[in-house]
Amino acid sequence: MFVGLTLGVAVVFSVDIANQSAKRAFALSLDSITGRTTHQIVGGVSGIDEGIYTQLRTRLGVRQSAPVVEGTLTVQGPDGSESLQLLGIDIFSEPMFRSQLSSLQDVGEPGDATRESLALLEFGAVFTGNSTAARLGLSIGDTVKVKAGGATRAVKLANVIDTTHQAAFDSMVMTDIATAQWLLDMSGRLSRIDLITDNPAQLEEIKNTFSEVSIADASRRNNALVQMTGAFHTNLLAMSLLALLVGAFLIYNTVTLSVLQRRMLFGQLRVAGVDRQALASAIVIEVLAFTLLGLVAGLLAGYALGGVLLNLVTRTINDLYFTLEVRQLNVSVFNVLKITVMAVLAALVAVAVPAMEAANSPPVTLTQRSALESKTGRLLPWLATGGCALGVLGFLMLWLSASLLMAFCALFMIVIGYSLLIPGSLYWAARLTGKMSFSGAGVTGNYPMRSLSASLSRVAVAVTALAVAVSATAGVGIMIGSFRASVADWLDQTLQADFYVRDSESLDNALPQEFVDAVDSLAIVTGKRLSRMFDVDAGGTPARLLALELTGDMNRGLSLIGHHTSVDEQWTQWSAPDSLFISEPLAWQLALNAGEKLSITTENGVRDFHIAGVFTDYGAGRGLIIMPMATMHLHWQDRGLSSIGVSLNAGSVDDADRFRRLVKPWPQLLVRSDGDIRELSMRIFDQTFAITHILRLLTAGVAFVGILSALLALTLERRHEFAVLRALGLTPNEMRRVLLSQTAWMGLIAGLLALPLGILMSGILVAVINRRSFGWTMQYSVSTGVLWESVALAFIAALLAAIYPAWRIGRMLPTQALRQR
């Protein structure tokens, strides 16, 4: 009972705190990136003119403003190199903005923070997080090589920031704005100006004074980020809810069994004169005491497990969204309270029925199992009816509401509803199998099934837990499989060039013109895909803009969805001025469709663009906008290229080598073949879902323990029955076979029962939940492999669980068991 409780609590608790810690780190990191900023003055690709900041300060008197120069650079230390975000600030404009400077305040006297942060003013001085410094093997005072935009320069690590409370700093380099402009080749330009203002008149004045820039609402930018990762957290939450459900089953199961196996004892106690109430309360108190013990152990185990899960969660966020370093588990009273309430409630519900029954039944029936079994039998129709009702309600909710939360509630209800049907199905399945004739196998042929249907009350909950756990693994497995297949297809379609060349630091950096010219003069290139990528504000939401130009035999490489016009027609529309394609997630986020208008802030002000089509995109993060290069040039000054894709004469190894040699003189450029990119993408995909694999295993583990404890209790309780069988002449091996065949049957039934639920669940995950949270449409495909795997998982879990009880049965001395009776 103890182990069951501990495991149930541990799984739910660990998922919960890992999820929460990641969320909290995310909020902290948002805070240190954008701080208390309410608005941001942003420009085009190359940022904004630094003179705007001077004007703001000296002419408009906008005091709560801070200039920012940011970009990506590679920092090389003795112990490795890492790509980090560079944040260039003006220390004198910062005080009210970002919290990072205050982290220096943790040491020493008040005022030291100001003094220490002034070290940034020295040209070439940088700060970084203490853990980043440790990872790279750097100490304060070291000269550090950094690489940005193709040039390697030396800076000095002037101080480190304690990242205990500043998680975001772990992957950031902070420096003075002058040093940042130097490192990023951005002299004269700022990436943005942060503002704190709630004064619309002031914003209006800024807008009127500087027509060339736009003012973005920082909270909206943050919201977009929160939304992005929010979807991921919601999916995790779903996993933790499934774990909770399985955990609750497990607790229910263990508690029920611990009461059931002592029915005899309770009967004897009643005979001995213990009154009903005393007995009931004794049972409840005992169970609660055990629950609390299990709870404490479970919390401890969950905390340890949480650390492991947190790493996985963080890695997923890093892969999908942005660098986030979390080392601290964040546990609130609320987490503990939530899990305590869950455990105690599950235990109370579990104990209520047997305790009341034990207390209310006449003593003599207590000692007879048949009484209980017949009651269980009477309960089945009610369970089934309730289950059906819940399921119908769940589907109604899915159908009626478009919200993500409702979708989860519905999924949960369908799962519970289905699980209520399992005991009934089990009963009928047992009766059905029991009616079949296995007479050829002798007494061990018919006996196991028929005896099992007689002990339904013991095994139903365990089988249900196993079935739900397996269905969850099947459901998620099918979902991931469908997703993976969709992503692979999408990559095949998108990656049309043989090689892609980009700046190794950032897509914001333009390729050197000499390189572009060199590619132009290379005769072996049969087609090119020229692109420029940068961030824009689209209808109030930050998005990535990709300007595209295809030449030669380069294929388009986009999969357009929506069928109201032909694909060719959509491409024709796209080529017209002020037209574009948007990605499916962006369309979902902005509730826009082909044929509608999208406003984008360009260097010439806000412009409306015609949406010629919507394309499939599984890139996480910001929504993507694709427009022709010529259209981009109409609205932005930038003439650089972020990447070039080339196709070469098919299959020529020489040509590939020639192309690679061409890129060699520019060490800052990164060449990747389509194969490399495909492989990398799939690796990231698999990494992303690593956490779901772990959770599937955990869920299966919980179910395994459920089966094990159910079997242990069952064998303990049926000792007498087994002893009689032994006395009748069954050998220990035959006894084992009886037990193993019973559990194998249980596992098989659980596995089979899990399949419809698993398929149902994956259907909801693919068609509803992922669409509602990410805006991704996937092709739904069920691989028979996953189905077989699930049945096998249930079967093997049950068999494994039976090994120990079977071994015990074999060793049982019949005489002793009979004598105890």
Looking at beta carbons only, is 107 or 278 nearer to another protein?
A: 107
CA distance 625 to 547: 8
End-to-end CA distance of the chain: 24
Angle at 777 between CA 771 and CA 781, to 5 degrees: 110
Phi, psi for residue 772 in degrees, rounded to 5: -70, -30
Phi, psi for residue 301 in degrees, rounded to 5: -65, -40
Say which DSSP state 768 is in: I
CA distance 310 to 167: 14
Matching residue, tokens 């005491």: 289
Q: Which residues pair with 156 in a beta bridge?
A: 125, 143
Segment contacting another protein (CB under 8 A): 116-124, 462-470, 471-479, 746-754? 116-124
CA distance 433 to 447: 11
Which of 480-504 are b and which e, b meaning 16 or more Cβ less than 10 Å from the residue's Cβ?
bbbbbebbeebbeebbbbbbbbbbb
182 contacts another protein (rule: CB under 8 A): yes
User: What distance lies between CA 346 and its chain's CA centroid?
Assistant: 27
Q: How many residues bind another protein (CB under 8 A)?
A: 32
220 contacts another protein (rule: CB under 8 A): no
Work out how close the CB of 46 gets to another protein at its nearest, in angstroms, rounded to a whole number. Answer: 15
Work out how close the CB of 116 gets to another protein at its nearest, in angstroms, rounded to a whole number. Answer: 6
CA distance 209 to 524: 51
- Which of residues 3, 118, 352, 684 is near another protein by CB under 8 A? 118
Work out how close the CB of 191 gets to another protein at its nearest, in angstroms, rounded to a whole number. Answer: 13
- Which of residues 78, 79, 106, 107 is near another protein by CB under 8 A? 107
Looking at beta carbons only, is 112 or 520 nearer to another protein?
A: 112
How many Å is the Cα radius of gyration of the chain? Answer: 33
Residues 15-54 close enough to bind another protein by CB under 8 A: 50-51, 53-54
Decide if 255 contacts 355 (C-beta within 8 A).
no
Segment contacting another protein (CB under 8 A): 171-179, 436-444, 512-520, 671-679? 171-179
H/E/C letters for each residue in 164-183? CCCHHHHHEEEEEHHHHHHH
Segment contacting another protein (CB under 8 A): 115-123, 162-170, 295-303, 725-733? 115-123
Looking at beta carbons only, is 183 or 407 nearer to another protein?
A: 183
Segment contacting another protein (CB under 8 A): 119-127, 194-202, 392-400, 695-703? 119-127
- Which of residues 36, 79, 123, 520 is near another protein by CB under 8 A? 123
Work out how close the CB of 127 gets to another protein at its nearest, in angstroms, rounded to a whole number. Answer: 12
Q: Which residues pair with 146 in a beta bridge?
A: 75, 153
Work out how close the CB of 205 gets to another protein at its nearest, in angstroms, rounded to a whole number. Answer: 14
Matching residue, tokens 């995109």: 617
- Which of residues 176, 508, 674, 717 is near another protein by CB under 8 A? 176
Decide if 588 contacts 771 (C-beta within 8 A).
yes
198 contacts another protein (rule: CB under 8 A): no
- Which of residues 3, 27, 121, 356 is near another protein by CB under 8 A? 121
Say which DSSP state 609 is in: E
Segment contacting another protein (CB under 8 A): 21-29, 177-185, 553-561, 770-778? 177-185
Structure tokens at 656: 């590939």
- C-alpha dist (Å) from residue 3 to 111, 115, 147, 694, 706: 53, 55, 53, 20, 9
Work out how close the CB of 73 gets to another protein at its nearest, in angstroms, rounded to a whole number. Answer: 15
CA distance 673 to 678: 9
- Which of residues 188, 577, 605, 675 is near another protein by CB under 8 A? 188
Decide if 231 contacts 769 (C-beta within 8 A).
no
70 contacts another protein (rule: CB under 8 A): no
Work out how close the CB of 42 gets to another protein at its nearest, in angstroms, rounded to a whole number. Answer: 19
Work out how close the CB of 118 gets to another protein at its nearest, in angstroms, rounded to a whole number. Answer: 5
Looking at beta carbons only, is 124 or 640 nearer to another protein?
A: 124
187 contacts another protein (rule: CB under 8 A): yes
Work out how close the CB of 107 gets to another protein at its nearest, in angstroms, rounded to a whole number. Answer: 7
- Which of residues 32, 171, 181, 743 is near another protein by CB under 8 A? 181
Segment contacting another protein (CB under 8 A): 101-109, 401-409, 540-548, 740-748? 101-109
58 contacts another protein (rule: CB under 8 A): yes
Structure tokens at 182: 């130097």
Work out how close the CB of 34 gets to another protein at its nearest, in angstroms, rounded to a whole number. Answer: 22
Segment contacting another protein (CB under 8 A): 180-188, 344-352, 399-407, 438-446? 180-188
- Which of residues 80, 108, 552, 785 is near another protein by CB under 8 A? 108
CA distance 801 to 204: 70
Looking at beta carbons only, is 95 or 763 nearer to another protein?
A: 95
Segment contacting another protein (CB under 8 A): 179-187, 536-544, 702-710, 726-734? 179-187
252 contacts another protein (rule: CB under 8 A): no
Helical axes 2-34 vs 690-717, angle rounded to 10°: 160
Angle at 754 between CA 750 and CA 758, to 5 degrees: 165
Looking at beta carbons only, is 54 or 815 nearer to another protein?
A: 54
Looking at beta carbons only, is 179 or 602 nearer to another protein?
A: 179
92 contacts another protein (rule: CB under 8 A): yes
Burial of 409 (0-12, 13-18, 19+ CB in 10 A): middle
Segment contacting another protein (CB under 8 A): 121-129, 197-205, 640-648, 782-790? 121-129
Burial of 237 (0-12, 13-18, 19+ CB in 10 A): middle
Say which DSSP state 336 is in: H
Interface with another protein (CB under 8 A)? 50-51, 53-54, 57-59, 61, 63, 90, 92, 107-109, 112, 114-116, 118-119, 121-124, 176-179, 181-182, 187-188
